[in-house]
Structure 1
Amino acid sequence: MSDSNKTEFTNPSTFILLGIAGLEAAHGWISIPFCVLYIVVILGNVAILFIVKKEQSFHEPMYYFLCMLAITDLALSTATVPKTLSIFWFNFREIDFGSCFTQMYLVHCFLVIESGMFTAMAFDRYVAIFRIGLAVVLRGFIIILPIPIMGSRWPYCKGNIVPHTYCKQFSVVSLACADTRPTSYYSLCVTYLVPSVDGFLIAVSYTQILRAIFRLPTNDARFKTFGTCGTHLCALSALYIPDLFLSLMLRIGSNLSLPVVILMANVKLLVPPLLHPIIYGAE
């Protein structure tokens, strides 16, 4: 019997996403804030793209990077939310094997690209915009590529039930009957190395910016430049703080229930695309 079960799930054609496991009865109510937040994300980021295109004074490197950030935010939220809503509304829980790993890849990829965009925005006065923009995108695609490649080649004999709203790497990998340490170590390195490198480069850039600010002749010019830097730092906080908070809670709060963990993981992906248009729109 055990051999039969193992053979059945060695290469599952589909995974089953449970949504928010333990709160299935409340999926209808939970879908309301998810839907509202997703609509706000779409409207806010599309508005940024429209305004930058129409306003000639915004045709500068900083605003081109802002448009690239808006596109990345739209892609990041669209990679997960529509499937999540289909689970909540229509109980469409199945996702085929290839689509699951594609979704996993896109989520990680767009997070890395987004981090790179902030680094690019900090250096936009020093490098060619199109070259660094292309480099940021290629970096995201290449760095994350080993994760789904390794994961998709493992045998999956522990079932095909994923207790999440999307194909989160840890939830899927835990179903594999193989030594998953290589991808776990690689994922851990990416998780901590990418923000560390980007943070170091941003710090170097801001050191140069602060030196330039203190050389400005008037207080008005200094306050204006400080305002731009403050906006950038707020946007950075929207990206990194939810991720840091979730990581700390998972390590400190060992008794966190599964529904809380799933909700926090979804909020982490929705917060940056939601806040970035608000932050930059208020500048």
Structure 2
Amino acid sequence: MSDLTTKERRKLETYFEMGSGCFLDFSNNSLAQFIAESVDIELYSDKYKIGSGSKGNRMRAIWDLEPNQLVGKLIRDIIEDDDDKKLLYPHSKDRNQELKNHCLQIATRLENSNSPVVQPIINQPQTTSTFPPVQQSVPVNRPSAVGVFPPVQQPFSQPVTQQPLVYSKPTPNKNKVFIVHGHDDLAKEQLARFVTQVGLEPIILHEQASSSKTIIEKIEKYADEVCFAIVLYTPCDQGSKIGLTEPSPRARQNVVFEHGYFIGKLGRENVTAIVKGNLEKPNDISGVVYETLDDAGAWKFKLAKEMKTSGCAIDMNRII
């Protein structure tokens, strides 16, 4: 953990405008992406959720949990990024330059700190061991009555068997829902707003930090965190069987692929497809749940029921 003093924290919180849970002019997604690129930290992981889980509180958690050098680098990167914005957008808010210099001095102190993070040592009560302590296998020469020095063997030591490492699969977050989509941004935003409305967090892949991961690596990462997946089928492509002259509307290929992936990953009961318009559906997954994105909004109640049955922490009273 960093060794920021109370006085230093007060200066940083004032400069970064953290009083109401905000953080400068960053949005949730832009701040998460910036921190991921700066220090390779996922801001919205449970590790940094304290209090309301706001941007300001999560930044305080980073200060509390991460070492001096990382915190110092992050502070400096944010201040330099804010300066760049001022150059690009002249109407950006003016900052207190004296306070900015104090914050840069804090960043320098942290970055140049060589003191390691010392973990507290917990005194454990001594217990009687079943086996004698392991001794070094070196003969000990002691004189005998007749002047001969036979080697004295050490007592038998029980070999230590190393336990195999067991991988523990991450527990899905009951508040996160993955949204698979094509090129229909309006329908995508409509789904995302609904998921947020009922108290869940929508995960849209292109809005998440890449952290130098490929697309499939990002899908695998976030698939471990969600409790449910919504697959949005929209007529974004056209295609037909060879020999047919009239192509039919189809969803994007990535939508069909990710639909199958999440069925295998989460189980069919934890995946629902929402269909907008008249389009061709994949034959291999006929029989799975498809709901129509109707103008009346009946899809909202059907989708909410599926998510609640799946175990998502959903508030049905917030559906409007």
TM-score by length of 2: 0.20
TM-score by length of 1: 0.22
